[in-house]
Amino acid sequence: MRSVMHFIDGAAASFGGGTGKVFAPTTGEVQATVELGDRAVLERAVVSARAAQAGWASINPQRRARVMFAFKGLLEARMDELAELLASEHGKVVSDARGDIQRGLDVVEFACGIPHLLKGEFSEGAGAGIDVYSMRQPLGVVAGITPFNFPAMIPLWMLAPAIVCGNAFILKPSERDPSVPVRLAELLCEAGLPAGVLNVVQGDKQIVDAILDHPDIKAVSFVGSSDIAQYVYGRGAAAGKRMQCMGGAKNHGIVMPDADLDQTVADILGAAYGSAGERCMALPVVVPVGEATADALRDKLVGEIDKLKVGISTDPEAHFGPVVSAQHKERIEHYIQMAVEEGSELVVDGRGFGLQGYENGYFLAPTLLDRVTSGMKSYQDEIFGPVLQIVRARNFEEAVALPTRHQYGNGVAIFTRNGDAAREFASRVEVGMVGINVPIPVPVSYHSFGGWKRSGFGDMNQYGMDGIRFYTRVKTVTQRWPSGGKVLDQSFVIPTMR
């Protein structure tokens, strides 16, 4: 059976100890084992990273960019290989896996511009004979802890900016689908990255805590559920680290009476059920404004849901595949039952779905629930599955209030032909990322990704310029070059530039 190991100092590394099982979501069978590291394994990774970082940081930014550019080429050349490996462990269809890799590759492409991105500021003549300038320097050894749902995209969001800024990076991926992150490390070394600049450690909570406690790790980026994000943020910040922790979501799609319903339904279906709903930027709540809009939207959704195909990851006609694990499938089914018991109307029930030949796979068909209200726990919590809830709003004000008052504030979308309504909504809604007739408003690589409220802990977003800021610290230099002769008077007060 295949074994997924750590990747330390430029090579696969095995240190014994415990192992975990890597399942194939389509069949429910164990397809590999993964080593589970401990503090000793992390220490080996830190020693390797610390030894490599100074030399890597001394290389000029243009040459670091060349390594990243070569890495970009390898990712493009190996896209199919990586997508198939990703799909086999996660369960998402191969076309969706390609999208996973591509969105990460976009950030790699952005990172290739690091010579420009690292430029500081300069002020000539700030005082008599005094110039002031700033520079951005790497933090040293930094780390990232990534979730199962995007095993290529999110590691690339973190490691590309961190490494190209001159840091050494330690990646702790999800133990559910650990193979692609190791493959990314191999390709980066093939692209010319020195050994030790990127290390991958496998493990569970034990190694997460070791990362958060280690004094030589200066910053940690995290993506996962909100409860764990809050824990990671608190423990890491208490240890004096710079922290960037992205949590869960309950994204809403507001449907105004003037919306193009055919286009809106097509958008909602992909956003709600794509990747079996296992996206922090999925759209699991739709908010039609007015009863007439709600009834018409529901009818169209039901008709289109019937056309969706659930299949194995390699089926080119499948819209989505299984969820990641048996435990997660049970959790989703529990929330569907909870919603019914709370008073929701079960319009389409995705439980009990079976795929011939794959009866032990973790499959769920699309579920649609209507007449959900904001007081229901099934609405308040993140379900993270192929479940769409309809929450009816009487008017625009109610529609704005729902995502604004929700504990999560990751993404939101509004569907309308009215520019004034869209502009007001975007201005007022208390959510970090807004789509206007765009169902999944993930920003492009040269902006940045981040939610509000319990969807994000920390002051800086991921990738874009915030990513560069997160992985660097500013040093400001005030300089004067004496020309000889006159000695300035002594001063015992703080200097000014008068």
pLDDT in tens, 364-387: 999 999 999 999 999 999 999 999
Amino acid at residue number 143: A
Looking up tokens 């809403």, which residue turns up?
Answer: 252
pLDDT class of 497 with cuts at 50, 70, 90: low
Distances (CA, A) of 242 to 181, 218, 453: 23, 6, 19
pLDDT for position 490: 65
pLDDT class of 220 with cuts at 50, 70, 90: very high
- Which tokens in the block code for residue 491? 């001063």
Q: Which tops the pLDDT comparison, 418 or 495? A: 418
| Mean pLDDT over the full length of the chain | 96
pLDDT class of 128 with cuts at 50, 70, 90: confident
In CATH, the architecture of 252-436 is 3-Layer(aba) Sandwich (3.40)
Looking up tokens 């929450």, which residue turns up?
Answer: 391
Nearest to 248, CA basis, from 261, 229, 262: 229
pLDDT class of 457 with cuts at 50, 70, 90: very high
pLDDT for position 459: 87
Strand partners, 219: 142, 242
Cβ–Cβ under 8 Å, residues 253 and 271: yes
Q: Which whole number is the average pLDDT over 429-456?
A: 96
Cα-flanking dihedrals φ and ψ of residue 238, to 5°? -65, -25
Cβ–Cβ under 8 Å, residues 159 and 171: yes
Q: Quick one: how far is CA 427 from the chain centroid?
A: 24
- CATH number of this structure's domain 2-247+455-477, picked from the four choices 3.10.20.30, 3.40.605.10, 3.20.20.70, 3.40.50.300: 3.40.605.10
- Which listed residue (112, 165, 189, 280) is catalytic? 280
pLDDT for position 482: 82
Strand partners, 7: 12, 200
In this structure, the dihedral spanned by the alpha carbons of residues 251, 429, 369 and 352, taken in order and rounded to 10 degrees, is 0
Cβ–Cβ under 8 Å, residues 195 and 2: no
Furthest-apart CA atoms within the chain: distance in Å: 92
**Each residue of 40-69: pLDDT tens digit?**
999 999 999 999 999 999 999 999 999 999
Nearest to 413, CA basis, from 389, 388, 436, 390: 436
Say how far apart CA 392 and CA 295 lie, in whole Å: 10
pLDDT class of 485 with cuts at 50, 70, 90: low
Q: Angle formed by the axes of helices 153-164 and 179-190, to 10°? A: 30
In the predicted structure, residue 170 carries a pLDDT above the cut 90: yes
| Cα angle: 202, vertex 207, 213; to 5 degrees | 145
Cβ–Cβ under 8 Å, residues 442 and 281: yes
- Which tokens in the block code for residue 233? 């943020």
pLDDT for position 488: 66
Say how far apart CA 342 and CA 151 lie, in whole Å: 35
pLDDT for position 489: 67
Say how far apart CA 105 and CA 108 lie, in whole Å: 5
For the chain, the domains span 2-247+455-477, 252-436
**Each residue of 251-297: pLDDT tens digit?**
999 999 999 999 999 999 999 999 999 999 999 999 999 999 999 99
Show the 3-state SS of the chain.
CEEECEEECCEEECCCCCEEEEEECCCCEEEEEEECCCHHHHHHHHHHHHHHHHHHHHCCHHHHHHHHHHHHHHHHHCHHHHHHHHHHHHCCCHHHHHHHHHHHHHHHHHHCCHHHHCCCCEEEEEECCEEEEEEEEECCEEEEECCCCCCCHHHHHHHHHHHHCCCEEEEECCCCCCHHHHHHHHHHHHCCCCCCCEEECCCCHHHHHHHHHCCCEEEEEEECCHHHHHHHHHHHHHCCCEEEEECCCCCEEEECCCCCHHHHHHHHHHHHHHHHHCCCCCCCEEEEECHHHHHHHHHHHHHHHCCCCECCCCCCCCCECCCCCHHHHHHHHHHHHHHHHCCCEEEECCCCCCCCCCCCCCCCCCEEEECCCCCCHHHHCCCCCCEEEECCECCHHHHHHHHHHCCEECEEEEECCCHHHHHHHHHHCCCCEEEECCCCCCCCCCCCECCEECCEECCCCECHHHHHHHCEEEEEEEEECCCCCCCCCCCCCCCCCC
User: 280 an active-site residue?
Assistant: yes
In the predicted structure, residue 357 carries a pLDDT above the cut 70: yes
